[in-house]
Amino acid sequence: MQIAHPHRLGFVSLLFFLAFPVGLLPQTPPPLTNQRVMQLVQSGVNADELLRLISTAPTVSFSLNPVDTDQLLRAGVSEEAIKIMAARANGLTSPVAPTRLTDLKGISDGPSVVADSSNIRSVGDEKANDALTVTSIPPGATVEWNRKIIGTTPLTYKVGEYAFNARKSTIFSKRLLQPVVLRLSKEGYVTKEATITKPWIWRSLNGQLSGTFYTISSNSLQINLDKIAAVPVALTNSDVVKLKTAGFGDDLIIDKIATNPSAFHLEFDDMVELRKAGISDAIIQAMLHAK
């Protein structure tokens, strides 16, 4: 048996590496990401091919919190594709990750609603109808939902059952992603705002996915508006003349001047006109010392 000369073996090895450049050796592809999936959809990859690519990608690096999921949906990625992405991200055999809810107790979204408790039904985890009823005292107040006008009281505003129900079957279930602030305004009354939502945290059972969403605490709200206090009208020269012409005595007119804001004009010509109208020196003196 002949043993190959060491130099000959080295020459053969050199020929092998020359024949198979390093650049042609197998390389690990980068992980499939949200951005790449959206690019595939936007480039026209059909639905079946997209599902196959997501299912067979060697490695994935998906982010599926509510904001990212919403971005995927807006980019045209189907819910079925997102479910498979979630399954790949969590190593699950089922494309849907079960979730659990945590009530964010003690977290305040803002000022408490001024409402009649007899007209409020707490929804919590139970199912509710799909509309919000808003009434006010007095009626006719403009209602804004996060600064968007939705009508005037009494108002029944269709929202959707999802906005009242905290029980979500999957991470893809429709939900409110921000708190809701109602603003009621009416001419002559103090404007009031009320945060009407309650925050929740959802987490996948494996703890890898989580997020916050909101539910409306009650499907019936009544808000009482306080009337703006009337601002006293400032007395003028004309008002004093009217009181005198109507027959009121000097003492009463002087008392009126002393207890009300005024906007008198008491230049030389003004005082002459007051005297011509029968206004006494005592009243004119009170006008001069008025606030």
In this structure, are 112 and 86 located in the same domain?
A: no
| pLDDT at residue number 238 | 92
Q: Rounded to an integer, what is the distance from CA 245 to the centroid of its chain? A: 60
For residue 83, being part of any structural domain is answered with yes
| pLDDT at residue number 158 | 92
Helix (H, G, I), strand (E, B) or coil at 148: strand
In this structure, are 45 and 147 located in the same domain?
A: no
Alpha-carbon torsion (165, 169, 174, 177), positive or negative: positive
**Which residues, 6 or more positions from 225, have their beta carbon under 8 angstroms from its beta carbon?**
136, 137, 138, 141, 184, 186, 189, 190, 192
In this structure, are 106 and 217 located in the same domain?
A: yes
| pLDDT at residue number 206 | 65
In this structure, are 151 and 195 located in the same domain?
A: yes
In this structure, are 165 and 206 located in the same domain?
A: yes
In this structure, are 217 and 252 located in the same domain?
A: no
For residue 160, being part of any structural domain is answered with yes
| pLDDT at residue number 157 | 93
Find the domain containing 39 and state its range. 24-96
For residue 109, being part of any structural domain is answered with yes
Return d(Cα 281, Cα 291) in angstroms, integer: 18
Q: At what angle do helices 281-288 and 250-258 cross, to 10 degrees?
A: 0
In this structure, are 178 and 254 located in the same domain?
A: no
In this structure, are 85 and 115 located in the same domain?
A: no
Return d(Cα 169, Cα 128) in angstroms, integer: 16
Alpha-carbon torsion (61, 206, 64, 195), positive or negative: negative
Alpha helices in the chain (DSSP H): 6-19, 34-42, 47-56, 66-74, 79-90, 237-245, 250-258, 268-276, 281-288
| pLDDT at residue number 168 | 66
**Own/partner long-range contacts of 211-214 (Cβ < 8 Å, ≥24 apart):** 211/65, 211/66, 211/67, 211/171, 212/66, 212/104, 212/177, 213/66, 213/168, 213/175, 213/176, 213/177, 214/109, 214/175, 214/176, 214/177, 214/178, 214/179, 214/180
For residue 248, being part of any structural domain is answered with yes
C-alpha separations of 171 from 38, 68, 98 in Å: 19, 12, 8
Total domain count, the chain:
3
Helix (H, G, I), strand (E, B) or coil at 220: strand
Return d(Cα 220, Cα 182) in angstroms, integer: 13
Scan for tokens 């539910």, then name that residue: 215
| pLDDT at residue number 29 | 78
In this structure, are 77 and 29 located in the same domain?
A: yes
Return d(Cα 81, Cα 32) in angstroms, integer: 13
For residue 18, being part of any structural domain is answered with no
In this structure, are 110 and 175 located in the same domain?
A: yes
For residue 14, being part of any structural domain is answered with no
Q: Is the pTM of this model over 0.85?
A: no
For residue 230, being part of any structural domain is answered with no
Out of 202, 224, 246, pick the residue that ends a domain: 224
Return d(Cα 174, Cα 209) in angstroms, integer: 16
| pLDDT at residue number 186 | 94
In this structure, are 167 and 201 located in the same domain?
A: yes
DSSP state of 187: T
Out of 224, 258, 279, pick the residue that ends a domain: 224
| pLDDT at residue number 183 | 94
**Which residues, 6 or more positions from 75, have their beta carbon under 8 angstroms from its beta carbon?**
38, 41, 42
C-alpha separations of 184 from 112, 176, 194, 226 in Å: 14, 21, 9, 11
For residue 142, being part of any structural domain is answered with yes
Residues in the chain where the model's pLDDT stays below 50: 1, 9, 11-12, 14-25, 93-128
In this structure, are 144 and 199 located in the same domain?
A: yes
